[in-house]
Homo-oligomer: A and B are copies of this chain.
């Protein structure tokens, strides 16, 4: 009836989550100091890198639901960062575009992101990062494939 200690070592997924949390938190702080946020930055990237896509695709590329993206876009539109206009050829589609303020914020946040990543990569060779990203991809694929 005693309670023998169970040998225990934190699993790899937890290591990944903890590291990602620490990195995201530090990144968020720098984004906030520059007038942005992680979510805003992701939307700006998504809009900037695939201007033609509809919102559903945009949301998918961010890993969130369409309604969640609407939520973020509402805030960004209210802040004057983006505009949404119906596409004349298919008026169901809303074309999301950056305003000048949105473009300016994108450039500012990009500076922050580039600087952050430069610091993040300190002491890490490109080869290390390539392998690292390869394993990231593998983990994500393993996690999401049906057992």
| Cα of A25 to Cα of B20 in the assembled complex, Å | 13
Which of the 9-residue segments A76-84, A87-95, A121-129 touches chain B?
Answer: A121-129
Cβ B17 vs Cβ A13 within 8 A: no
- The tally of residues in A whose CB lies under 8 Å from a CB in B reads 55
Q: How many copies of this chain are found per oligomer?
A: 2
- Contacting B at CB under 8 A, from A88-147, are 113-117, 119-124, 128-129, 131-133, 135-140, 142-145, 147
The answer to whether A16 and B26 touch (CB under 8 A), given A139-B120, A142-B121, is no
Q: Are the CB atoms of B144 and A22 closer together than 8 Å? A: yes
Q: Which residues of chain B come closer than 8 Å to A119, judged between CB atoms?
A: 142-143, 145, 147
